[in-house]
């Protein structure tokens, strides 16, 4: 057999660029993606899907229009579809995202400097 586990911590060692998600696994038509982020993202929503955030290292302020959710390592949160949000990390934060394959990171925002059209596997 040629089965291999994905060790998430090892995958983070393979890249250093921030705001550049990488796919580490696919389950049915969903992707598991990892990213290193620091600073402010853009306000956006995903009109068609919920989006899971898991914090693998560091802390994340997940801003909503009506308040901020403070997340730390080991936390999981599901952003409901259609809800505007903006991830902000003061220090570098490692996140794991779960969402349908093809979901664009900036959602309903057509294009920003943060938009990544083609997310590579790692």
Q: Give the tokens for residue 60.
A: 């994340």
Q: Alpha-carbon distance 122 to 65, whole Å?
A: 33
Q: Are 50 and 83 in contact (CB under 8 A)?
A: no
DSSP letter for 9, please: H
Q: Is residue 6 close enough to count as binding a copy of itself by CB under 8 A?
A: yes
Nearest to 8 by CA among 39, 32, 37: 32
Q: Which of 18, 42, 81, 86 binds a copy of itself (CB under 8 A)?
A: 81
Q: How many CB atoms lie within 10 A of CB 24?
A: 19
Asked if 9 interacts with a copy of itself (CB under 8 A), we say yes
Calculate the CA 70 to chain-centre distance.
15
8 binds a copy of itself (CB under 8 A): yes
Residues in region 11-40 near a copy of itself by CB under 8 A: 24-28, 30, 32
Contacts with a copy of itself, 37-76, as mask; x by CB under 8 A: ------------xxxx-----------x-xx-xxxx-xxx
Q: Is 78 in the site for a copy of itself (CB under 8 A)?
A: yes
Cβ atoms 34, 12 nearer than 8 A: yes
Question: In the complex with a copy of itself, which residue's Cβ is closer, 70 or 113?
Answer: 70
- For binding to a copy of itself (CB under 8 A), which residues are involved? 1, 3-9, 24-28, 30, 32, 49-52, 64, 66-67, 69-72, 74-78, 81, 98-100
């Amino acid at each position: 057999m040629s089965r291999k586990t994905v060790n998430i911590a090892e995958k983070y060692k393979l890249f250093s660029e921030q705001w550049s998600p990488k796919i580490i696994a696919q389950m049915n038509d969903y992707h598991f993606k990892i990213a290193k982020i620091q600073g402010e993202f853009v306000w956006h929503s995903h009109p068609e899907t919920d989006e899971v955030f898991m914090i693998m290292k560091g802390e994340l302020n997940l801003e909503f229009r009506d308040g901020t959710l403070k997340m730390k390592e080991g936390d999981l949160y599901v952003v409901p579809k259609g809800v505007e949000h903006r991830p902000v990390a003061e220090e570098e934060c490692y996140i794991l995202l779960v969402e349908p394959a093809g979901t664009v990171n900036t959602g309903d925002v057509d294009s920003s400097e943060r938009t990544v059209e083609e997310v590579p596997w790692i």
